[in-house]
């Protein structure tokens, strides 16, 4: 099986997938390309170290081609997403699954529709449980709610990507109990460890659903 991984930052979840492909955790599976929307994403370094081809897909270049107003920004994002789909669908071999691993750019139907029309699945890691803390800063919002005693646990999920942010069907979830007086850093560390296991399990389950 072939994976394309989208990253925006450190790439620790990409690293978990790289290691899983190298071990028997994801048999007969390889990451054929890594794409980032951020030039400085360390995930691009991790890919290069693993001899995986990378692409920096630069939104600023698209924004410069359009007026700096609302319509211009919307047009830039449409082109950006449509081109991202073209880049991925032009890869040979074509990916079976696109894994968003710490990817911080909302994917619109301009990306999702052409990808789905070619039968390519898109899954996403989100550090919260289904229906909770959608969007950025999920771990911090869960931590704050925990500190206020509003919730006793948060969690991590891998889900199918649909146009609504962090709202697609869950593929696998894992709860993470919250601890009184725990620092945000310590909670983040515990959550990232859970992410690294879940990103592999979620990818494995998604691949298992693909008829060879």
User: Residues in the site for ligand GRF, rule: CB under 6 A?
Assistant: 7, 9-14, 43, 101-102, 104, 125, 127, 192, 195
| Listed residue (97, 81, 136, 104) closest to 8, CA to CA | 104
Nearest one of 55, 58, 59, 193 to 127, comparing CA atoms: 193
Q: Which is nearer to ligand GRF, 79 or 140 (CB)?
A: 140
Rank residues 12 and 206 by Cβ distance to ligand GRF and give the closer one: 12
We find the least distance from the C-beta atom of residue 92 to ligand GRF, in angstroms, to be 26
Give just the sign of the alpha carbon dihedral 127, 194, 109, 167.
Answer: negative
Active site residues: 126
**CA–CA distances in Å: residue 105 to residues 4, 24, 192:** 16, 31, 19
Q: Minimal distance in Å, beta carbon 10 to ligand GRF? A: 4
Cα–Cα distance for residue pair 167/169, rounded to 1 Å = 7
Min. distance of Cβ 115 from ligand GRF in angstroms? 20
Q: How far is the CB of 118 from ligand GRF (least distance, A)?
A: 26
CB of 100 to ligand GRF, least distance (A): 9
Q: Which residue, 12 or 203, is less far from ligand GRF as judged by CB?
A: 12
By beta-carbon proximity to ligand GRF, the closer residue of 95 and 127 is 127
d(CA 193, CA 122): 22
Structure tokens at 23: 């071990």
Residue with Cβ nearer ligand GRF (12 or 154) = 12
Identify whether the C-beta of residue 118 lies closer than 8 Å to the C-beta of residue 24. no
Contacts 24+ apart (CB under 8 A), 136-140: 136/104, 138/166, 139/184, 139/187, 139/188, 139/191, 140/184
């Amino acid at each position: 099986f072939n994976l394309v991984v989208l990253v925006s930052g450190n790439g620790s979840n990409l690293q978990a997938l790289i290691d899983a492909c190298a071990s028997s955790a994801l048999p007969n599976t390889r990451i054929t390309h890594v794409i980032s929307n951020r030039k400085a994403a360390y995930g691009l370094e991790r890919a290069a170290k693993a001899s995986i081809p990378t692409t920096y897909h630069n939104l600023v270049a698209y924004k410069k081609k359009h007026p700096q107003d609302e319509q211009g920004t919307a047009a830039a994002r449409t082109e950006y997403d449509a081109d991202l789909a073209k880049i991925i669908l032009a890869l040979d071999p074509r990916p079976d699954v696109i894994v968003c691993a710490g990817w911080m750019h909302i994917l619109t139907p301009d990306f999702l529709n052409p990808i789905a029309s070619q039968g390519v699945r898109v899954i996403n890691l989100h550090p919260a449980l289904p229906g909770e803390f959608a969007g950025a800063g999920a771990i911090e919002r869960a931590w704050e709610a925990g500190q206020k005693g509003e919730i006793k646990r948060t969690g991590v999920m891998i889900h199918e990507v649909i146009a609504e942010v962090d709202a697609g069907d869950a593929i696998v979830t894992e709860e993470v109990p919250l601890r009184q007086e725990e620092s945000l850093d310590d909670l983040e560390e515990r959550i990232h460890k859970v992410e690294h296991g879940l990103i592999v399990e979620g990818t494995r389950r998604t691949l298992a659903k693909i008829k060879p």
